[in-house]
Amino acid sequence: MPRLSQPARTCASLALALVVSAAAAFGAGEGDEQVKPGLRSTLPASSAIRTVTSGAGDPANSHKGEATFGSSPGSGAGETGFISTNTPIRGAKKIKKAKAPKTVPAAAAARGRPVAGATTAGLAPRRPSRPKEEEDPFGPVGVHAGSFLVKPSLELSEGYDDNPFRTANGPGSRFTAVAAKVNARSEWSRHELTADLRGAYTTYSDVSGNDRPEAEAKLRGRIDVTSQSRIELEGKASLTTESPGSPDAITSAVRPPNIYSFGTSAGYVRRFNRFEMALRGSIEHSTYENAHLISGGIEDLSDRNFTSYAGKLRGGYEITPGIKPFVEAGLDTRVFDREIDFDGIRRGSDGVFARTGVEFDRKGVLTGEASVGYARRSYRDPSLPDISGLIVDSSLVWKATGLTKVTLAAKSTIEETTLTGASGLFRREARITVDHAFRRWLIGSASVAYGLDDYRGVDRLDEKLGISAALTYNLNRSLALKGELRREWLHSNVPGQDYTANIVLLGLRLQR
């Protein structure tokens, strides 16, 4: 190939430069992608150079174009506001990229359902979480009264008891029972106030002198002093009668005399990290109504009236969430309105107890507490022997499965008695109840109860046993049908005190 002379090479270089310049001038409307594909203009489209072509559609005039306004951006200007030399441009604004359009899955589009939020093609939208199932789907809903939630209920029952007096070979009778209950609880962010009211009345159609009222009212309050301390207050009142078949019952009365009880308590609870201390004190007074006898006379029972003063200290340590072992000790004294009763006995006494146990708070699994300990009561009259022994207390609810619940209750107390020669009654009771949901609306219950009454100072020991089976059919949240079968036994080492009783009843429960 022949070498070009110096003049020829100069002309070729000038021609190449003119071609490149012309291409850059006529290609400015296409953007800078032809020069630097990775960079775009930092100026908005309205400010860019626009070329107006006269004679649109005429190829002959397509080479005629002119810039109408705007200025050329710096070489290599991008959307970051910097040119290729990384020098910031004052006043340059970053242009946001247009968002990609939302894509809707084909399946959802075919069903015509709206899809919230942007989704990737082929992926189904997130399903909403299922609401949490209620623990008791047929429990009362309640009525809001200000800042309180009130839950009232009413039960009407008809039944038959073949031994209402709980005596050997006693007569049977039909009975009607009416029971009402109201529970109210505050819905405050701090502090708490609850009220539990219940009342019942049982009347017998075929026998007289055995109609029994029953009522109880409790008002509890909690004051949150700090996040680690609180004050607990309680006031209570109750109305009851002596149990039929008890040695303390007045069998010659027109009706069982009422027993009234009033009490109050206060406590202070303080937490120190996992350790908790509680100090509580209480006062309770019991009053016995005079008995109106069938013969027309009146039996004075005022020598049974007494007041109890008690205090206890408790300490617990939460080893894991929901499991708290504790130790508790307390003492009390009982002061009778009549220091010496009508039999010439000084019934006043002093008691002391100590126990240790575990408190459970595993929601949905195990709640309540169980403990074992020792109690002793000393009487002021030297003729009355002291009472002491092992005590077992329990109040546990175990959610065995989603359909089955097991309740274990046990209680040990030293109570008063008017049995001649006896200083007191050491009573131990235990009950286990199993509730099973055959359906959400059909609940079956079975229970076994055992009791031991040990009269100290005399040779009397009574054993009690009871079994029952019940079925509850919930028609809706406000109405339920109930049926129950129950059998009770008492065996005593005193001749002529044994008895059996069979009870059957059908009831209707209304609740809100």
End residue of a domain, out of 46, 70, 85: 85
What is the domain extent for residue 66? 6-85
218's CB contacts (< 8 A; 6+ apart) are 194, 195, 196, 197, 234, 235, 236
Do residues 298 and 208 share a domain?
yes
> Is 431 domain-assigned?
yes
- Tell me, what CATH number does 259's domain have? 2.40.170
Instruction: Identify the weakest region by mean pLDDT among 45-54, 273-282, 320-329.
Output: 45-54
Do residues 267 and 413 share a domain?
yes
C-beta of residue 103 within 8 angstroms of C-beta of residue 118: yes
Decide if pLDDT at 417 tops 80: yes
Decide if pLDDT at 316 tops 50: yes
pLDDT band at 169 (very low <50, low <70, confident <90, very high): confident
**To the nearest whole percent, how much of the chain has pLDDT over 70?**
74
Do residues 344 and 422 share a domain?
yes
In terms of Cα–Cα distance, which of 307, 136, 164 is closest to 249? 164
> CB burial class (10 A; 0-12, 13-18, 19+) of residue 241?
buried
Do residues 80 and 160 share a domain?
no
Do residues 215 and 354 share a domain?
yes
> Is 126 domain-assigned?
no
Do residues 77 and 199 share a domain?
no
Instruction: For residue range 340-387, list pLDDT tens digits in order.
Output: 999 999 999 999 999 999 999 998 899 999 999 999 999 999 999 999
Average of per-residue pLDDT across 497-510: 96
Decide if pLDDT at 118 tops 50: no
Do residues 81 and 165 share a domain?
no
Instruction: For residue range 448-458, list pLDDT tens digits in order.
Output: 999 999 999 99
> Is 18 domain-assigned?
yes
In terms of Cα–Cα distance, which of 221, 140, 232 is closest to 183? 140
End residue of a domain, out of 38, 61, 85: 85
Model pLDDT, residue 13? 54
pLDDT band at 196 (very low <50, low <70, confident <90, very high): very high
Average of per-residue pLDDT across 301-322: 96
The amino acid occupying position 301 is L
Model pLDDT, residue 199? 97
Do residues 391 and 467 share a domain?
yes
Model pLDDT, residue 128? 66
Structure tokens of 22?
Answer: 């012309």
Do residues 185 and 276 share a domain?
yes
Angle at 171 between CA 165 and CA 177, to 5 degrees: 60
Taking the chain, what is the end-to-end CA distance rounded to the nearest angstrom? Answer: 110
Structure tokens of 30?
Answer: 């296409």
Do residues 354 and 481 share a domain?
yes
pLDDT band at 105 (very low <50, low <70, confident <90, very high): low
The residues pairing with 455 across neighbouring beta strands, listed in sequence order, are 425, 460
Structure tokens of 32?
Answer: 């800078």
> Is 93 domain-assigned?
no
Average of per-residue pLDDT across 115-140: 63
> Is 121 domain-assigned?
no
Do residues 393 and 499 share a domain?
yes
Average of per-residue pLDDT across 163-178: 94
> Is 101 domain-assigned?
no
Do residues 201 and 79 share a domain?
no
pLDDT band at 125 (very low <50, low <70, confident <90, very high): low
C-alpha torsion 278→390→464→411, nearest 10 = 10
End residue of a domain, out of 51, 85, 119: 85
Model pLDDT, residue 9? 55
**To the nearest whole percent, how much of the chain has pLDDT over 90?**
69
> Is 108 domain-assigned?
no
Between the CA of residue 359 and those of 230, 268, 279, 329, 404, what are the distances in Å? 19, 18, 17, 16, 22
C-beta of residue 224 within 8 angstroms of C-beta of residue 230: yes
pLDDT band at 129 (very low <50, low <70, confident <90, very high): low
Average of per-residue pLDDT across 219-228: 96
Instruction: For residue range 62-104, list pLDDT tens digits in order.
Output: 444 444 444 444 444 444 544 445 555 555 455 555 555 555 4
C-beta of residue 419 within 8 angstroms of C-beta of residue 458: yes
Average pLDDT of the chain, as a whole number: 83
Q: How many folded domains does the chain comprise?
A: 2
> Is 451 domain-assigned?
yes
Model pLDDT, residue 318? 96
| 413 vs 425: CA distance, rounded Å | 8
